[in-house]
Amino acid sequence: MSKKLKSQRVVVIQANGQLELKDFQPRTFGQALANELPEDWRTKPKSLAKCVKRTPDLLTLTLGIMGSFEELLWQERQAVENAIGERTEALEKEQADVEAVKTDAKLNDLYEQLDGYDDRLWAIEELPPHKWLKSLSSLEYLAVVFSVEQFLGQTMTPSWTLFCAHKDNAKLATVHAFRLLPLEVLDALQIEFLELSDASLPIDVCTTLTAKQANAVAERFNLKLTFEAVPKKRARKKATTPAAENAATATEPAPAEPAPTETPAKKPARKTTARKPRASKAETQEAAA
């Protein structure tokens, strides 16, 4: 019996009759790309490059990673360029010999670093993403792998091409599950699909049955579905303990003693605007005639 329950999907019947799969979970990008990414992509840039070349979403991701690399490289290049300027200025102050500046080991090392940054920036600007991946150093590729791993753990959203409505949206997944049922079963469950006026595919599904009635139908047709009703919210009861009653009594204000009656002074008469008396219904009808 436990195996049967594990294989069944639970459908929640809302108060308005709408149905929704209780156990639904949208896919992650890792699940969507499970058949696309080879097992060795984390260690072999060539394997990831092949996937990037044929998968639009991975291409979009790689372009974003390249943009982050470019921003970081420009910042580091600027730091090296500033260091070159400072070193050159210091050498010129120490000695006027131009040759000494040209042969300075530290300055030459900084220029080599600058050339390296220029090469990496050129690769980002000129190479297509799949070739850029293959040009990375081991350390750079580790940074790419980290970014891709984070991406694969995220939940699928509609803005990506891998998004599938009946796999990544709770309502549409429920609609899809019921559209696969035979017409005889749909009639027995009193299923109705809701459609938009300008759309051919349904966007929601509902029933007029209770959870108990729907489960009886599911058992009759041997469906792998279990129906549940949304539990009703119970109203919170106020405390009626003796302590609470005593506290309520203590907080009630004591009745005020009646004040001694005094003869009020007469106020001057208030002027009122004379109003025209309203005609009766009979008089109005007579005047109209």
pLDDT in tens, 158-182: 999 999 988 999 999 999 999 999 9
Which of 125, 152, 179 is the C-terminal boundary of a domain?
152
- Judgement on whether residues 76 and 181 belong to the same structural domain of the protein: no
Residue 94: domain span: 29-152
State yes or no: pLDDT of 285 exceeds 50. no
- Judgement on whether residues 68 and 119 belong to the same structural domain of the protein: yes
Q: Are 229 and 213 in contact (CB under 8 A)?
A: no
Instruction: For the chain, list the strands marked E by DSSP.
Output: 9-13, 19-21, 191-195, 202-207, 225-229
- What gap in Å lies between CA 64 and CA 144, rounded to an integer? 11
- Judgement on whether residues 33 and 146 belong to the same structural domain of the protein: yes
pLDDT at 283: 42
- Judgement on whether residues 9 and 35 belong to the same structural domain of the protein: no
pLDDT at 1: 36
- Judgement on whether residues 107 and 175 belong to the same structural domain of the protein: no
Residue closest to 148 by CA, chosen among 67, 65, 69, 66: 65
Residue 166: how many other CB atoms lie within 10 Å: 15
* Domain contains 39: yes
State yes or no: pLDDT of 245 exceeds 70. no
pLDDT in tens, 93-143: 777 666 767 778 888 899 999 999 999 999 999 999 999 999 999 999 999
pLDDT in tens, 173-223: 999 999 999 999 999 999 999 887 766 778 899 999 999 999 999 999 999
pLDDT at 219: 95
State yes or no: pLDDT of 157 exceeds 50. yes
- Judgement on whether residues 115 and 37 belong to the same structural domain of the protein: yes
Decide the pairing of beta strands 202-207 and 191-195.
antiparallel
- Judgement on whether residues 78 and 183 belong to the same structural domain of the protein: no
pLDDT at 29: 96
Residue closest to 148 by CA, chosen among 221, 75, 48, 229: 48
State yes or no: pLDDT of 17 exceeds 70. yes
Question: Percent of the chain having pLDDT more than 90?
Answer: 62
- Judgement on whether residues 12 and 46 belong to the same structural domain of the protein: no
- Judgement on whether residues 50 and 144 belong to the same structural domain of the protein: yes
* Domain contains 271: no
Which of 152, 175, 193 is the C-terminal boundary of a domain?
152
- Judgement on whether residues 138 and 187 belong to the same structural domain of the protein: no
Domain count, the chain: 2
